[in-house]
Structure 1
Amino acid sequence: MQLIDLNNLPEVEFAQKDIKAILADTIAGYEEAYFQQHGKKKKLYPGDPIRIFLYTQALREFQLRQIIDFSAKQNLLKYSTGPFLENLAALREVEKLPASPAKVSQKFILNTPQSVVQIIPRGTRVSPGGDIYFEVKENMEVPIGEIEITAMLECTSEGKIGNGFMPGQINILVDALPFIESTVNLDESQGGSDVEDDENFRERIRLAPESYSVAGPAGAYEFFAKKYSSAIQDVRVFSPSAGVVDVRVLLENGEIPNEAFLLGLKESLSDKTIRPLTDHVIVGAPKAVEYDIELTYYILSENAASVTSIQGNIQKAVNEYILWQKTKIGRDINPSELVARIRNAGAKRVEIIQPSFIQLQNIEVAKEVNVSVNYGGLEDD
């Protein structure tokens, strides 16, 4: 099924919202009515009390037209927001994703091998410090003779608050157990997401028709992948060979998903209500292609008084380019885009040393390493 890109649809307006035109129509209407009633013309000049009154009425008309235009647009997927978008989504049986907790792979180390099976009870908490906790979701049995066991833990607080703790940082056993000596996380905690925002929600609604049968088309796998977690920012689906479906996902802000997140997504996509019987689903992270940024920019001499402001805008443009570059799988590393953004931010010209153009494959994503942005000084036009 070929779905329509909402960005390619024409802009629509249900009510004219030009305040000057509304005022002109209101004044013209009054002058015409006055002529019809009195048989003579009356011109309303600026400062006339009647004209001032009509201006207040024109403002009311303007506000009403704003409401009319906004209300009508809430019936269109391209413009709908908030509760209106949720009601529109109900027509396609799509619900907004709630906030979800971060997850992490946690290792528990015993003080000595046990002669009997020990239980790490559900609800046992660990912490990196502060008021953030991760807990065991199901009772875990430690086999006889083992000295360590690994489990998937969830943050007790939903949302992004539990993301970003690097390996080794979650090392406090909050609920002490006599046979546990220490604990440590093995990977970065991730996957926590806030309530789905309107943009991601709108995109899933657009993809919903792909889900009316089990996954099969690329769009269907993309829909079900994004349904798994609102932390997923981009999905790339392709078939490297007959019967094999390769799904690559990227998290918010270009974060590479860890193995725990990918395992959960694979289990979700492999559900019998989603995966066709003959499909072999592979779920993985895109391969990071590293690149450096090294450049020097110059500013026009006539803008000398605004150098500090322009420098701030240029740094912001570079940061936005880095984010743009790493948030879509298969997006080529494109220095021309970087130059355009820096010039739009106020630079006269830019000398790019790195990066050079690199064409990426559909399983690759750009990842910046070293960033060096230098100011070369002022130049005449």
Structure 2
Amino acid sequence: MSEEYSKVLERMRNEYYRQTGMFPDENSDIQIKMKILAGELHALGVNIDWLKRQLNPETADGEYLNYHGSKLGLTRKPPAKASGTVRFYTGGELFSDYVIKAGTLVSTSGKNPVRFETTEAVILSAGADYADAKVRAVEGGSSGNVNTGEVSVMVSLLQPVSKVTNLSKFTGGTDEESDEDFRSRIVAAQSFPATGTNAAYYEKLALSVTGVGAAYVSPKRRGKGTVDIFILPNGAVEESQVLENLEALVLQERELGVDVDVLKATSVQGSVTVTIYPDEGYTFDTVKTNCSEAVQRKVSNLTIGEDLKLSDIGDALYHAQGVYDYKFDSSSSNITAGENRIITGVTLTMKEGV
């Protein structure tokens, strides 16, 4: 860590005293020069600290983290555009059909409006009161996930249209992959290098697709020369689109002669009954909340195909704040996932011990 400015200046003043037997006056020329030099040395130290952080993918950020990813063939997931449906209303009786062209712009109101464009042409039929059209955000990002009724501005003026609105919430918009999430993929790729012939290669492909929350690869499940990729969509993008995007990527990047299938993993819910003995000074309700949160954190770190052992649940309970002791019911056991399933939740039935 770089030395503080005051420490640098103090060392310089002390060295001056050691060599001259006196400290420089506060307003003297030498004191002013010392202050300037101390400031520059401090700034240099700060820059060196920053440079050290960028040399390691576990501490790098921004474009320098991108450089580390590129060495492993990884790129940051770009923002995804939200989509939905808007309804165009006529201002009066329409005597002939009117075509609303693809690319027609609408937006939300306010200081920072979010703009959307129609993705296809639709016909506002003669005699009709309205027409629905699919739209997509002009720019990617979670800001496009607007709530019902927030789209209200006609950017492209259409003579027969009096107003526009969205009757349901828009979905699918995601921000650019964060440093934290991208760093996790980089560190994982370093720990399990993808050679093009192992499961890590296909897992890396799957996790590079926007909308994939987790992935599990099962080689030779259908015989020699086959690879099955199970994914759990994270809800950022429509599931069918996620599967389609991954299938297209795999078709382009797979090894020659390898039959790769992309499948959606099944979500599994488990249940456990346990008696909790609260520590002194804690209410049972408080401890119950702490236990539930601790177990859910454990569950959130599971991957597709990974079982949840009773001992792991016990470890989470033991370290939950306010727990003195616990005892599982005899009916409780390990929660098994299976290769194409992922445990996403545990129903924790808790009894108060005395």
Q: TM-score, normalised by structure 2?
A: 0.60
State the Cα RMSD in Å.
Answer: 5.0
Aligned to 1:21: none
Distance 2:55 2:164 in 1: 59
SS in 2 for 1:174: strand
The alignment status of 1:348 with 2:331, answered yes or no, reads: no
Kindly state the Cα deviation for residue 364 of structure 1 after the two structures are TM-superposed: 0.9
SS in 2 for 1:234: strand
Aligned to 1:315: 289
Aligned to 1:288: 267
Residue in structure 1 matching 2:215, options 228, 235, 238: 235
- Structure 2: segments with no counterpart, 5+ residues: 2-46
SS in 1 for 2:312: helix
The alignment status of 1:297 with 2:276, answered yes or no, reads: yes
Q: TM-score, normalised by structure 1?
A: 0.56
Identity score, percent:
16
- CA contact 1:246–1:282 (8 Å) conserved in 2: yes
Aligned to 2:175: 193
CA pair 349-315 structure 1, distance change in 2 beyond 3 A = same
Residue in structure 1 matching 2:204, options 223, 240, 243: 223
Kindly state the Cα deviation for residue 315 of structure 1 after the two structures are TM-superposed: 2.7
Residue in structure 1 matching 2:122, options 132, 139, 142: 142
- CA contact 2:295–2:317 (8 Å) conserved in 1: no
CA pair 283-225 structure 1, distance change in 2 beyond 3 A = same
Distance 2:133 2:179 in 1: 33
- CA contact 2:141–2:173 (8 Å) conserved in 1: no
The alignment status of 1:363 with 2:340, answered yes or no, reads: yes
Distance 2:230 2:84 in 1: 21
Aligned to 2:61: 82
CA pair 368-114 structure 1, distance change in 2 beyond 3 A = farther
- CA contact 1:221–1:237 (8 Å) conserved in 2: yes
CA pair 366-127 structure 1, distance change in 2 beyond 3 A = farther
Residue 287 of structure 1 aligns with an amino acid whose one-letter code is T
CA pair 127-332 structure 1, distance change in 2 beyond 3 A = farther
Kindly state the Cα deviation for residue 322 of structure 1 after the two structures are TM-superposed: 1.6
CA pair 370-198 structure 1, distance change in 2 beyond 3 A = closer
CA pair 95-184 structure 1, distance change in 2 beyond 3 A = same
Q: How does 1:155-170 map to 2 (within 5 A)?
A: 156=139, 158-159=141-142, 161-162=143-144, 170=148
CA pair 117-198 structure 1, distance change in 2 beyond 3 A = same
CA pair 227-191 structure 1, distance change in 2 beyond 3 A = farther
The count of residues paired between Structure 1 and Structure 2 equals: 295
Aligned to 2:82: 103
Distance 2:305 2:256 in 1: 29
SS in 1 for 2:82: strand
- CA contact 2:230–2:263 (8 Å) conserved in 1: yes
- Structure 1: segments with no counterpart, 5+ residues: 1-14, 16-66
Aligned to 1:40: none
Distance 1:279 1:108 in 2: 46
- CA contact 1:335–1:357 (8 Å) conserved in 2: yes
Kindly state the Cα deviation for residue 269 of structure 1 after the two structures are TM-superposed: 1.4
Kindly state the Cα deviation for residue 172 of structure 1 after the two structures are TM-superposed: 5.1
Which string of whole-angstrom CA distances, capped at 9 and with x for unpartnered residues, describes residues 273-322 of structure 1?
x245655554343211223455441124xx33xx15x9656634422422
Q: How does 1:171-210 map to 2 (within 5 A)?
A: 171=149, 173-175=151-153, 178=160, 183-185=166-168, 189-190=171-172, 192-198=174-180, 200-204=182-186, 207=189
- CA contact 2:103–2:118 (8 Å) conserved in 1: yes
Aligned to 1:324: 298
CA pair 191-264 structure 1, distance change in 2 beyond 3 A = farther
CA pair 236-154 structure 1, distance change in 2 beyond 3 A = farther
Distance 2:243 2:94 in 1: 30
Residue 182 of structure 2 aligns with an amino acid whose one-letter code is N
Distance 2:88 2:218 in 1: 41
SS in 1 for 2:182: helix
Kindly state the Cα deviation for residue 184 of structure 1 after the two structures are TM-superposed: 4.0
CA pair 265-90 structure 1, distance change in 2 beyond 3 A = closer
Distance 1:110 1:260 in 2: 30
Distance 2:108 2:348 in 1: 34
Kindly state the Cα deviation for residue 222 of structure 1 after the two structures are TM-superposed: 1.9
SS in 2 for 1:357: coil
SS in 2 for 1:358: coil
